[in-house]
Amino acid sequence: MAYILGLDTGGTFTDAAIIDSKNGALIAKAKAPTTREDLSIGLGAAIQSVISQMTKDQHKALKQVCLSTTLATNAVVEGMGGRIGLVMIGFDENSLTKNNLGKSLGNDPVAIIAGGHKTDGKQQAHLDMAALEAFANEHGKDISAIAIAGHFATRNPEHEIAARDFLRKKTGCPITCSHELSSELGGPKRALTALLNARLIDLLDRQINATNDIIKTSGIDAELMVVKGDGSLINQQLARIRPVETILSGPAASISGAAHLAGVTDAIISDIGGTTTDITIMSNGTPRLSPKGATIGGWSTMVEAADIRTGGLGGDSEVSVIDRGIKGGVTLGPRRAIPISSLAQQHPHIHKILDDQLENPIASATDARFVVPIFTGEPPEWLTRSEYRMAIDCRDAGVTAISELAETRLAMGAIDRLVARGLVLISTFTPTDAVHILNQFNEFDTSAAEKAGKLMARQRSGSGKPQAENIHIFAQMVLDRLAIQSGLALIDAVNAHENNRHAMSEQNPILVQMIASALKPSDSTLISTGIRFHRPLIALGASAACYYPAIAKVLNADLIVPEDADVAGAIGAAVGSIRQSARVTITQPSDGTYRVHLIKGPVDFGELEQALDHAEHVVRDDAEAKAKIAGGHNIDLTASRKVENIDLGGGKTLFIEAIVSATASAQVN
């Protein structure tokens, strides 16, 4: 008998589940609050709680630990991560305007240097080593990692490899090359994927270290595996150098868990966590893979992942009041905040601050808003001067009101940038606080939620009137807004699935009004229309039972909240397996020449069949090697060939290109 421990570290809770490896039966489950300032605390609590439900013999039979994490997804959505350097080889500055590359880069340094290759894999210019050295000298000590993207590097990665070797020796930084993450064309998109990978390295490394420490302390002798964005597993060594592949790890595991728990093969699945809501369409028991790579929080990547739409909306989404316009109201997200009710439970002194703010007769935009530092020691040297000073102030003040640290817009901007860098967190009113006020959830400090609700409700709209007459009305405003935004997100997901386009339902006022009217019907309405979902809606997440009955109502959907849905991600992690893919492109640069574009460089053949055979041999070996590196054995290989021709008539065809792919499926060692 062998058992598997599945772990799912979400923005709010860390879940643990133990299953029987033979039949997938759930043996035990547990939850603990996620402690972002020190992940090992929440992980440790969840692990200790779940293994306490096992016998000694069962404990000894734990042979595998599988970690599903929303850390990478949340970091991308919230714009968090270390300061990195981007090296673009053979591109022009206009490339930064494509695929939101420049926006994602922000103020981090970039070097656009000569080099790169042409579409046929031949060099377009010599690699500018002097420019690389200048970049290393200027920024090597101010960045945590480097991303490198070369022009047509998937056709010939020679310059990316040379730049990587030089910069690694010169700076000692972890380095990500774009060709290592994807074989697809599209330079700016590959560059963005490499940039995100470099930015996530330190974050995921810390989480893996924390997990290993807890596993060891708990007396568990098992291999640690990590869930990828397509729901498959890789070992921790590979996850450390390719953290971007864990984007959508959490929702992918939840999909596997939903299929395992619900016994429904065709459904719309929505997993609401603390930071994000993840939506996918499941057909025949599995989600389709995203044909163009994962899109997270507006960033389009080349990460192979389940076709999941992820948005910054969750139980811990930051609530902001609308202070312009006559009606007022609230907006949610995309940034996550620590719920006031949770913060007060850990730091009771904030009650005094809330009381003082309530005694002030004038409402302030900074009321019920706190700063929580999550770093110790000295701040990173790569911060700007104003950020560095603010980081010191935050560290020294500890958990305190934002108004005590930021009296100017400049200071507020510095705090926002520290949040983006993952050095401090914001605590304010969230939907979690709203359900405490409405007595739908009582895990944390309800009194603190009520005080924060009073402070938020009394803030003024553009008409000068308070946002709400009392805290219960304000709390319901927040939950209504959550239902509206969730409903619109689900409609967008279904439209994208059926019509292969990304609609923006929130920009459609008629649709918004339709959902709002369904949520709160009015006798004054002269006409009403409705929405009907023709597949069941499976709601996952610890708060699904609180939020989703209202959401299913406005969508006229049959709602399923599976038993044990609160740990679906942990169960999905535990039932995962290893799956690795490889692909090679074949082009025809001239008549009678078929070029196979390999990682080691292009190879030419005189016959297409020879090129196809060689490519298949390479991808089979590559996929098998990747599966072994990921920690697999008993490997099963499948391969496919896709040849694209144009029919010229008269029995003649024109060869365009060929794609040869292989997939290796394996069990964990």
**How far does Cα 208 stand from its chain's mean position?**
16
pLDDT at 302: 65
pLDDT at 525: 57
Model confidence at 77: pLDDT above 60:
yes
245 or 30, greater pLDDT: 30
- The residue count for the chain: 669
Mean pLDDT to the nearest integer, 645-661: 87
Give CA separation, 173 vs 170, 277, 552, 665, in Å. 8, 34, 48, 33
Model confidence at 526: pLDDT above 80:
no
Range with the lowest mean pLDDT among 19-33, 285-299, 583-597? 285-299
Model confidence at 502: pLDDT above 80:
no
Q: For 424-503, list the strands marked E by DSSP.
A: 424-428
Closest CA to 319 of 304, 301, 299, 334: 334
Closest CA to 448 of 330, 352, 381: 352
Q: Which two tokens stand for residue 606?
A: 């005189």
Q: Which two tokens stand for residue 82?
A: 């270390």
C-alpha–C-alpha distance, residues 583 and 639, integer Å: 9
* CATH architecture of the domain formed by 77-201: 3-Layer(aba) Sandwich (3.40)
pLDDT digits over 429-454, tens only?
999 999 999 999 888 999 999 999 99
**Residue 187 CA neighbour count, 13 Å, CB half:** 28
pLDDT at 299: 62
C-alpha–C-alpha distance, residues 373 and 358, integer Å: 24
C-alpha–C-alpha distance, residues 34 and 27, integer Å: 22
170 or 303, greater pLDDT: 170
According to DSSP, the residues that pair with 148 across neighbouring strands are 87, 177
pLDDT digits over 214-266, tens only?
888 888 888 899 998 888 898 888 888 888 788 778 778 888 888 888 878 88
Please give the backbone phi and psi of residue 360, each rounded to the nearest 5 degrees, phi first: -70, 125
88 or 206, greater pLDDT: 88
Model confidence at 634: pLDDT above 70:
yes
630 or 80, greater pLDDT: 630
C-alpha–C-alpha distance, residues 453 and 367, integer Å: 10
C-alpha–C-alpha distance, residues 21 and 225, integer Å: 15
- CB atoms < 10 A from the CB of 652, how many? 9
pLDDT at 504: 55
Q: What is the mean pLDDT of the chain?
A: 85
Range with the lowest mean pLDDT among 9-23, 167-181, 352-366, 523-537? 523-537
- Cβ(287)–Cβ(257) below 8 Å: no
Q: Is the bond leading into 334 cis (omega within 30 degrees of zero)?
A: yes
- 66 CB contacts (<8 Å, ≥6 apart)? 4, 5, 6, 7, 224, 225, 226, 227, 233, 573, 574, 576
pLDDT at 241: 82
Model confidence at 281: pLDDT above 60:
yes
Q: Which two tokens stand for residue 442?
A: 């009582």
pLDDT at 83: 83
Model confidence at 372: pLDDT above 80:
yes
pLDDT at 522: 56
* Amino acid code (one letter) for 542: A
- CB atoms < 10 A from the CB of 650, how many? 6
* DSSP letters spanning 509-578: HHHHHHHHHHHS--TT-S-------SS-EEEESTTHHHHHHHHHHHHT--EE--TTGGGHHHHHHHT--E
- Cβ(123)–Cβ(69) below 8 Å: no
Q: Which two tokens stand for residue 59?
A: 């404990």
Model confidence at 72: pLDDT above 70:
yes
pLDDT digits over 381-399, tens only?
888 888 999 999 999 999 9
Q: What percent of the chain has pLDDT over 70?
A: 91
- Cβ(270)–Cβ(538) below 8 Å: yes
- What is the band of 55 on the pLDDT scale with cuts at 50, 70, 90? confident
pLDDT at 198: 81
pLDDT at 37: 67
Alpha helices for 111-173 (secondary structure H)? 129-139, 158-171
Instruction: Using DSSP, state whether 626 is helix, strand or coil.
Output: helix
- What is the band of 529 on the pLDDT scale with cuts at 50, 70, 90? low
Instruction: Using DSSP, state whether 265 is helix, strand or coil.
Output: coil
Q: Which two tokens stand for residue 347?
A: 């730091």
Range with the lowest mean pLDDT among 74-88, 135-149, 331-345? 74-88
Mean pLDDT to the nearest integer, 489-518: 65
Domain extents in the chain: 77-201, 317-477, 579-668
- What is the band of 309 on the pLDDT scale with cuts at 50, 70, 90? confident
pLDDT at 517: 63
Q: For the packed helices 249-262 and 71-78, what is the interaxial angle rounded to 10 degrees?
A: 130
- Cβ(486)–Cβ(270) below 8 Å: yes
Sign of the alpha-carbon torsion through 74, 77, 78, 83: positive
pLDDT digits over 129-141, tens only?
999 999 999 988 8
- What is the band of 617 on the pLDDT scale with cuts at 50, 70, 90? very high
DSSP-assigned letter for residue 273: -
Instruction: Using DSSP, state whether 504 is helix, strand or coil.
Output: coil
pLDDT at 328: 82
Indicate the pTM of the whole model. 0.65
Model confidence at 509: pLDDT above 80:
no
C-alpha–C-alpha distance, residues 449 and 585, integer Å: 57
- Cβ(222)–Cβ(215) below 8 Å: yes
- Cβ(626)–Cβ(635) below 8 Å: no
* Amino acid code (one letter) for 389: R
pLDDT at 50: 93
Q: Which two tokens stand for residue 630?
A: 């990921």
